[in-house]
Amino acid sequence: MNQIVKTQILHTDAPFRLESGDVLEHLDIAYETYGELNERRDNAILIEHALSGDAHAAFYHERDRKPGWWDSMIGPGKGFDTERFFIICTNVLGGCSGTTGPASIDPATGKPYALSFPPITIRDMAETQRVLLAQLGIERLKCIAGGSMGGMQTMQLFCDYPLQADSFICIASTMKHSAQQIAFNEVGRRAVMADPRWNGGNYYGEVSPEAGLSVARMIGHITYLSEKMMQEKFGRAKKDKDAKVIFRPSFEVEHYLDYQGISFVRRFDANSYLYITNAIDNFDLMGSLRSKDRARGEGRQRGTPLDALKSKRGLVVSFTSDWLYPPSQAKEIVRLFTGLNVRVSYAEIETDHGHDAFLTDFEYQTAIIQSFLDAPS
Partner 1 sequence: MYKIPTQNYPIIRQWIAPGSRVLDLGCGDGTLLSSLIREKNVEGIGVEISQDMIVRCIQKGVSVYQADIDKDLSEWPDRSFDYVILNATLQAITKPYNAIEEMLRVGRHAIISVSNFGYLRNRIRILTQGRVSAHTRSSAHWYDSPVIRFVSIKEFETSLEEMGVEVMDAQFFLACNRVIGSRWPLYNLLAREGIFKIRRGSSE
Active site residues: 148, 322, 355
CB nearer to partner 1: give 199 or 345: 345
129/141 Cα distance (integer angstroms): 12
Q: How far apart are CA 4 and CA 130, in angstroms?
A: 26
d(CA 89, CA 1): 22
Number of residues that bind partner 1 (CB under 8 A): 23
> What is the distance between the alpha carbons of residues 280 and 152, in angstroms, rounded to a whole number?
8
Q: Which of residues 122-161 bind partner 1 (CB under 8 A)?
A: none
Chain Cα centroid distance, residue 207: 27
Q: Pick from 36, 64, 240, 350: which binds partner 1 (CB under 8 A)? A: 350
User: In terms of Cα–Cα distance, which of 264, 184, 265 is closest to 223?
Assistant: 184
* Cβ–Cβ < 8 Å for 208, 114: no
HSE value, Cβ hemisphere, 13 Å, CA-based, for 317: 29
The reply to whether 375 sits near partner 1 by the rule CB under 8 A is yes
Q: Does 178 bind partner 1 (CB under 8 A)?
A: no
CB of 71 to partner 1, least distance (A): 22
Least distance to partner 1, CB of residue 128, Å: 31
Give the dihedral sign, CA 325/327/332/335. Answer: positive
Alpha carbon of 29 to those of 8, 89, 152, 296: distances in Å?
Answer: 8, 10, 19, 24
Q: C-alpha 320: how far from its chain's center?
A: 20
Stretch that binds partner 1, among 70-78, 90-98, 123-131, 366-374 (CB under 8 A): 366-374
360 binds partner 1 (CB under 8 A): no
CB 357 within 8 A of CB 327: no
What x/- string results for residues 238 through 257 when contact with partner 1 is judged by CB under 8 A? --------------------
Which of the stretches 108-116, 129-137, 239-247, 343-351 binds partner 1 when contact is defined by CB under 8 A?
343-351
**Cβ distance to partner 1 smaller for residue 44 or 369:** 369
Does position 343 interact with partner 1 (CB under 8 A)? The reply is yes
* Interaction of residue 364 with partner 1, rule CB under 8 A: yes
**Rounded to 5 degrees, what are φ and ψ at 16?**
-115, 115
Least distance in Å: CB of 334 to partner 1? Answer: 7
Smaller CB separation from partner 1, 116 or 345 = 345
Q: Note the residues at the interface with partner 1 (CB under 8 A).
A: 313, 315, 331, 334-335, 338, 343-350, 364, 367-368, 371-372, 374-377
